[in-house]
Amino acid sequence: GALADAGAGVFELAPAGVTGDDLSLPEREVAWMRRVSAATGRPFTFALVQLDADPDHWQRVFELSVEAVAEGADLHPQVAARAPGILVGLQTMHPWVKTPTFRAIAGAYVLGAGDQHHLRSVPIEEIAATMRQPSVKATLMEELRASGAALSFISLTRVFPLGDDLDYEPVADDSVAARAERAGREPFELLYDLMTEGEGRRFFFAPVYNYSHYDYEAVRTMLTHPRGVFGLDDAGAHCGAICDASMPTFLLSHWARDRRRGEQLPLEFVVKKITADTASLYGLHDRGRIEVGCRADLNVIDFERLRVLPPELVTDLPAEGRRLVQRAEGYDATIVAGTVVMRDGVDTGERPGRLVRGPQHTAAV
């Protein structure tokens, strides 16, 4: 009611059932959202992903969102540019992280129910070197089998080594399980060896949603649906295991230029999806377009050079807290309100941005 009185604001939520725990819940969630939206005149945007338990359920949610428009509701499923998932690796999450021997080697401890695993004291390259010792490996493999963690951890049919090419749309044959089968090896042993190679900094892409058929055809349909809005690029809540902050750059580079396993998307469509469509949903009518009277908020991009770089783990949070970052190349300049705040990926120190309150409108010309 307060938002209705203000005539501004967006309801945004992760609806019950979005993770597939109860497939009856999404329809019930949409039912109350459409009632509230119609009554208040305010838009709703909510997370929507493809679930392995019912790979087509997202289509029904879109259908319900379209039907809601006839009632005066404004529902926008929020969709991702790729498969939301975790980064498996020696520095983050892996099957041995809770075993006694790994804790002894790494000085590892677990904080909270979110299973954010933090390494302290021992450098990662030393941990990897110790784990490569045959006797240590044998002990850790036995502890894994004894704990049953191999059964509860994510399936290795959905864990893919991330190389320098950062293939976020891999084929099923690239999974650790498929590689192990071809080599006649036990999958967790192969994962162990790949994970502890070199300095132990290799990451593995483990898609949790949007990858039921090992491709992004469902994602493409979600992105191009008139009700779909782009989002879900998780960059903070699970910063020790997930790094999806690169999704806007991925949407540009993969979908408008690099995709080979299906149809691409037009560059102008992708740019509009990231900018004008998002700004319009949130009432930021003074940005998202290059137009007289709008703010001069711009990215100057060398499109042929644009790419995301491999994820990195940095320790720059309070109490030596860790987070994953993923940088990008190809952004010549980022301009906010006419002032260059980033040049070739380097912070210029300029801070022209201001707190935004409520809807924004173009300046009178």
Determine the Cα–Cα distance for residues 125 and 222; give it in Å rounded to an integer: 41
> Which of helix, strand or coil describes residue 332?
strand
pLDDT at res. 49: 96
- Greatest Cα pair distance in the chain: 74
Q: What is the pLDDT of residue 365?
A: 60
Report the alpha-carbon distance of residue 70 to residue 38 in Å, rounded: 9
CA atoms within 13 A on the CB side of 225: 27
Whether this model's pTM surpasses 0.85? yes
The per-residue pLDDT for 110 is 40
Instruction: Give the per-residue pLDDT at 108.
Output: 47
Q: What is the pLDDT along the chain (365 residues), one digit of tens a residue?
A: 999 999 999 999 999 988 888 888 888 999 999 999 999 999 999 999 999 999 999 999 999 999 999 999 999 999 999 999 999 999 999 999 889 999 899 874 443 334 444 445 688 999 999 999 999 999 999 999 988 766 566 799 999 999 989 999 999 999 999 999 999 999 999 999 999 999 999 999 999 999 999 999 999 999 999 999 999 988 777 888 899 999 999 999 999 999 999 999 999 999 999 999 999 999 999 999 999 999 999 999 999 999 999 999 998 888 878 899 999 999 999 999 999 999 999 999 999 999 999 899 998 66
Cβ burial of 341 (10 Å; 0-12, 13-18, 19+) is middle
* pLDDT given at position 151: 57
* Helix boundaries (H) for the chain: 2-6, 25-40, 57-69, 100-106, 124-131, 134-147, 149-152, 176-183, 187-195, 217-224, 247-253, 267-274, 276-281
